[in-house]
């Protein structure tokens, strides 16, 4: 079986996220962290799309107006949060986005935690469409 190393896109997102949290700390609005993270990703030369629209298909009907916080390098969905509490709906939300896009990897980035490492959750879609 082939052994896989760390994913460079995911690692780049995590590095940028830690830098934003290190400088701003917890307690700000999600929109502030989104703006700062986009700036940091840009400084690092990482391609991303902000508030990326995705379509959800239900019984052959396309339902529009779903938005990803960030789609990084066309490969990884990053959903940003800014709360002390963790809710199971966060993981369900990103799993739904992964299913809708057919992508395999996502990150929940919760800037509301005391340290950013506490706020990072990796999510994998083992059954992309």
Chain position carrying tokens 């239900």: 58
The domain defined by 8-124 folds into: Trna Endonuclease; Chain: A, domain 1 (3.40.1350)
* pLDDT tier for residue 129 given thresholds of 50, 70 and 90: low
Q: How far apart, in whole angstroms, are the C-alpha atoms of residue 59 and residue 72?
A: 29
Q: How far apart, in whole angstroms, are the C-alpha atoms of residue 48 and residue 53?
A: 13
Torsion of Cα atoms, 40 then 74 then 109 then 111, to 10°: 30
- Summarize pLDDT for 84-100 with one digit per residue, the tens: 888 889 999 999 999 88
What are the E-state strand segments in the chain?
48-58, 61-72, 76-81, 105-110, 120-124
- Summarize pLDDT for 24-59 with one digit per residue, the tens: 999 999 999 999 999 999 999 999 999 999 888 888
């Amino acid at each position: 079986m082939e052994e896989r190393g760390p994913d460079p896109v995911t690692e780049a997102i995590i590095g940028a996220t830690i830098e934003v949290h290190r400088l701003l700390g917890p307690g700000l609005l999600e929109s502030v962290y989104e703006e700062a993270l986009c700036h940091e990703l840009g400084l690092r030369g990482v391609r991303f799309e902000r508030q990326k629209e995705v379509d959800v298909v239900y019984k052959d009907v396309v339902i529009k107006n779903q938005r990803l916080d960030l789609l990084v390098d066309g490969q990884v969905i990053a959903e940003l949060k800014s709360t002390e509490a963790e809710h199971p709906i966060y993981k369900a939300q990103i799993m739904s986005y992964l299913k809708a896009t057919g992508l395999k990897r996502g990150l929940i980035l919760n800037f509301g935690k005391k340290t950013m490492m506490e706020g990072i959750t990796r999510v994998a879609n083992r059954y992309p469409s």
